Amino acid sequence: MLEFQEKDGKLVCVFKGALNTEACWEVEKELYAKIGAGGQAVIFDLQGVDFVASAFLRICLTAYKKVGGDNFYIVNLRPGVKRVFKISGFDQGLNIVD
């Protein structure tokens, strides 16, 4: 469900599968501990994600606040997931990169 990689000094969080509420509970603790620790820029890679629940939108918001707006990116959103960010308005504040 979640793997961590280092790339050019950035922490890349690679998510996979359906990020429903239960899945989000499972990864939250470890995720926040990791992204708080290093003070690096953080990238959420959602290439392998086919579903996001509201809980994941909250995770993105929390990560954005923890890391700082200029150091947080969300990349490789599939169209269905990108639409969720668009409809919910979450694409407005977060750095979403194709």
Partner 1 sequence: MSESEHVQEIETIVSKAAQAAAVFTQYDQAQVDRIARAVYEAGFNHRVPLAKLAHAETGLGKWQDKVLKNVVATQLVYEDIKDLPTVGIVHEDHRAGIVEIACPMGPILAIIPVTNPTSTVLFKILIALKTRNPIIISPSKKARKCSIETARLCYEAALKEDAPEDCVQWVEPASREQTQHLMCHPRIALILATGGTGLVHSAYSSGTPALGVGAGNVPVFVERTADLAFTVEQILISKTFDYGTICASEQAIIAEQCVAGELIAQFQRRQGYFLSKAEVAQLENVAFDRTKGLMNAEIVGQSAEVIAKQAGLQVPLGTQLLLAPLEGVGKDHPLSSEILAPILAFYTAKDFEHAVDLCIELNFHGGIGHTVSIFSNDEAKIKQFAGLMNAGRIVVNTPSSQGAVGGIFNTLSPSLTLGCGTGGKNITTDNITARHLLNIQRIARRRMNISFTSFDQDAYLDETLDAHAIETAYHRNT
- For partner 1, the binding residues (CB under 8 A) are 20-21, 51-55, 57, 80-81, 83-90
Q: Which is nearer to partner 1, 42 or 52 (CB)?
A: 52
CB neighbour burial string for 62-91, b if at least 16 within 10 angstroms, e if fewer: ebbeebeeebbbbebbeeebbebbeeeebb
State in angstroms the smallest separation of the CB of 84 from partner 1.
4
State in angstroms the smallest separation of the CB of 62 from partner 1.
14
State in angstroms the smallest separation of the CB of 7 from partner 1.
28
Q: Which two tokens stand for residue 83?
A: 């639409």
Q: Which is nearer to partner 1, 46 or 57 (CB)?
A: 57
Q: Which is nearer to partner 1, 41 or 52 (CB)?
A: 52
Q: Which is nearer to partner 1, 41 or 49 (CB)?
A: 49
State in angstroms the smallest separation of the CB of 5 from partner 1.
26
